[in-house]
Structure 1
């Protein structure tokens, strides 16, 4: 619990300020300029989410497996791993950026300025890929405080620039986004070097393969089609709706990121060792963590909804923030579903079952598009928010069914002994555990 409190302090102090960009933009800029800046930033953030999530989770899972066996990747293995992730980030940038830029600017009167802003933030996902590898290694080595504290640095830098210089040109505010990501990477590099010195494996290995990286990234990319469709509808609805959407999204993720970084980050590094755990130990761990995470997410949901409603009735909010807080109060209903989906993705990565995530992502994107279309024409822009809530709860049910099958197969799979009776190659023979012959590979 003390480690959870330390993570909570790091999340609040270091991460929440970075969620302020939409609020500062809506407060300082005109509605049209705010929408233009946030829409361009969202393209970089969308690509960064795809790369960062895949790179970080894969790094945590693979490092966790190695550290559970007390082995360490060689410098050559680490360089090869980084290069594969970097190549993917570059390819994603080249392919996805023009598509999103065209889709978002199709009905915009400021198309030229919008494209310039998109170019200004284009390098962000490449920098995010490198930073996320370092972040994942820190988490796997049991040092999550710094990665948590600098998680939102990329958007904190443009927010601070906008506060200090309200008349700053939009292109300069856009450039501040990759600058913030580069600063995050520099801080993580120092932290990662310290973590390596504090916890080094006993044996070197040339194997650090990004198992399932492409499948996981593909699923993230397809999943991001949902918010992309949301923004396409809202960008044609009039000035201010994109800003309201981004504000509600940041308030929602303030709650879910607090949950993820405070209570889930550290546990993923432990769950990564499920394949090397005895069944009784693993089941006890998962039940204990499940109870705690369930209580936490319930409290966060209630607190998030009440916080938004209290802010609305207080009369203290600027007029430009009102709609964003109303939408946030609605979307907070999906906090438990989103939290469970996040837990599900991490357990699938630990189990090296990322191929399931592609099908889940396609289902999510199709369902979101259908609900967006129907509810937008029925309820108007608020229908986009309602559709998001519905999609998250439906997919939580899908994850529940899937995890009941996958997780039991993952526990103890690297304690298996082949039929010939020799110890498995993945576990050094001098670390064989009692009773390991009872468990077969999934």
Structure 2
């Protein structure tokens, strides 16, 4: 049962009108870059799409509508002690109490370049399934924090890696919210953080549901030899990364240099992130990203209006320094784990045997379509799989 600690401070999101006016003025002064005559999306963010996108953001997009959608849920600031520096970290939590007498706690974590806006179409469905033709006894109390350095989880004075964030999430769920055991769902960086929860704090994690291939399993002399299918898959994954992960190299080595452009130009920030909503979804180069434009704008606007475009990239630097992207020999995610994997992602669905190297795999579903942002692109399918898996697990 939810038991909020005294340190949890309730608040509502209310961006000052002056910040919205400043944003519109900056968008009106956009300087447009040159672009090859035959450009679609093979060079990055497409100019024709970006002109429509920025015009919409400046003149047609209604931030107050999306702000109200977020404020339909509860919001809290919670101060937690960082395990890496022993300083206090302000963590923002979006929360929706589930229907019925015993809604089950479900921790959902986003990644980059996403945010809590990834989940606006699924939180109510998960918390109140009876409103959508389901049963109230399948309800979750949904806990959706913003990663440190993202949104309202500020200020962030130093980079923090996913393993340290996992400890913050343990303290959030157990000490600040009173859940001794809980379910976990995540993608992108959230899947990395959640995997460390399943390694370091497995006693509190009843089960995990992940929609990205996360931590690299330990591969040493004691590991089973790689199969031919695994070797082929690794080569394919490296080929995809060579074309799609230039951003990763920058954000994990020189994030502050990039941060000046992301923090000073909303057009620059939009182009940097929009390209990922195309590339991470593996959309064809001649097609636009497969998402409603206003939904993507809202996600990017949250970075801009909270001043977190730069600090959100620090997790890449921290993970590179700490080695938090790979398990070490002897480490294993012991709680029951399910994967819901889209066919088009930065990391393609692996062959049988790869996930079992690091996870207590009890279920795997491979989607027939879609890419990286499953909750945004296929909310109904996402919710159905989450519900079906966790109803088979016990707290």
Is TM more than 0.5 here? no
Which structure has the highest strand share of the two? 2
TM-score bucket of the superposed structures, by smaller chain: under 0.3
Task: Output the TM-score relative to the length of structure 1.
Answer: 0.23
Task: Output the TM-score relative to the length of structure 2.
Answer: 0.25
Which structure has the highest helix share of the two? 1
- The structure whose Rg is larger is 1
